[in-house]
């Protein structure tokens, strides 16, 4: 199984994610209700954008 955020191998401690960071990214997306926006798989170190509201409105 691979991390749905960055596609790296998942860690059993954070599955299905590879790290706490990716789990937090996923949670943040759910909370912002913009989970449908895919992450760029070639940029796994990218942080969350500071103003995601620009995408929705
Ligand atoms: Zn990951």
- In a domain, residue 46? The reply is no
- In a domain, residue 6? The reply is yes
pLDDT of residue 19 exceeding 60: yes
- In a domain, residue 20? The reply is yes
Per DSSP, the residues of 8-28 read SBPPTTTTTSSSHHHHHHHHH
- In a domain, residue 50? The reply is no
- In a domain, residue 56? The reply is no
- In a domain, residue 43? The reply is no
How many residues does this entry show for the chain?
A: 57
- Give distance in angstroms: CA of 46 to centre of ligand 1: 11
**Distance (Å, whole) CA 20 – CA 38:** 19
Calculate the average pLDDT of the chain: 80
In the chain, what percentage of residues exceed pLDDT 70?
Answer: 58
Mean pLDDT, residues 6-11 taken together: 96
Tell the residue number behind the tokens 């299905």, with chain if given: 16
How many angstroms separate the first and last alpha carbons of the chain?
Answer: 34
- pLDDT tier, 32 (very low <50, low <70, confident <90, very high otherwise): confident
For residues 18 and 1, the model is more confident at 18
| Structural domain range at position 2 | 1-37
Residue 8 is predicted with a pLDDT of: 96
Residue 30 is predicted with a pLDDT of: 84
- Give distance in angstroms: CA of 19 to centre of ligand 1: 6
- In a domain, residue 17? The reply is yes
**Number of separate domains in the chain:** 1
């Amino acid at each position: 199984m691979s991390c749905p955020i960055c596609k790296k191998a998942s860690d059993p401690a954070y599955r299905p994610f590879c790290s706490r960071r990716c789990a937090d990214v996923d949670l943040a997306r759910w909370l912002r209700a913009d989970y449908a926006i895919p992450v760029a798989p070639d940029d796994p170190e990218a942080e969350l954008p500071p103003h995601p509201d620009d995408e929705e409105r």
